[in-house]
Amino acid sequence: MSAYPDPLNKVLVLHGPNLNLLGSREPDIYGYETLDDVNNALREKAVLAGWELNCLQSNHEGVLIDAIQAARTDGTRAIIINPAAYTHTSVAILDALNAFTGKVMEVHISNVHQRETFRQHSYVSLRANGVIAGLGTQGYQAALDAILRAAGQ
């Protein structure tokens, strides 16, 4: 038996551009909860399950890609990602996720399928194990539930 405790299971939550404005940005579409509210609720659930949860928001594609690449080797078992507008444009984020071997859950706060045509295609969906759209910020909780359940928790 190792003298060291098992490392915690880790999940990474990535938020794409403009999601730092959650709570004040188009609240009729995205609601009034802030990104801190979302992240804190997720962390609470993860900690109860004995998981470490790390969150990152960036308005820059390369920063998100760097974080996905780092997740390949730092023990991260799953990524929850709302790529925001990069959902519909970024082959580079898709490629980075394709190089990650853990679970990927794609979350959209709004129901992108009821919105403009350009929002109805997602590059990330080609890789995602699950896609949640239209549940508001509860979608993030549903994604974490799915990850924990798949891990037997």
Per-residue contact flags (x/-) with ligand DQA for residues 30 to 69, judged by CB under 6 A: ----------------------------------------
Q: Please state whether 60 falls in left (phi above 0), alpha (psi between -120 and 50) or beta.
A: beta
Place of tokens 């359940």: 149
Question: Does the active-site annotation cover 30?
Answer: yes
Confirm if 123 and 93 have CB atoms less than 8 A apart: yes
Question: Does the active-site annotation cover 108?
Answer: yes
Q: Does 82 bind ligand DQA (CB under 6 A)?
A: yes
Min separation Cβ 48 and ligand DQA, Å: 25
Give phi and psi for 132, each to the nearest 5.
-125, 125
Q: Does 18 bind ligand DQA (CB under 6 A)?
A: yes
Q: Which residues contact residue 26 at a Cβ distance below 8 angstroms, ignoring those fewer than 6 apart?
A: none
Q: Does 125 bind ligand DQA (CB under 6 A)?
A: no
- Which range in 5-13, 38-46, 47-55, 81-89 contacts ligand DQA by CB under 6 A? 81-89
Give phi and psi for 56, each to the nearest 5.
-145, 130
Q: Please state, in angstroms and rounded to a whole number, the distance separating the CA atoms of residues 127 and 105.
A: 9
Q: Does 112 bind ligand DQA (CB under 6 A)?
A: yes
Q: Does 109 bind ligand DQA (CB under 6 A)?
A: yes
User: What residues line the site for ligand DQA (CB under 6 A)?
Assistant: 18, 82, 84-85, 87, 108-110, 112, 119
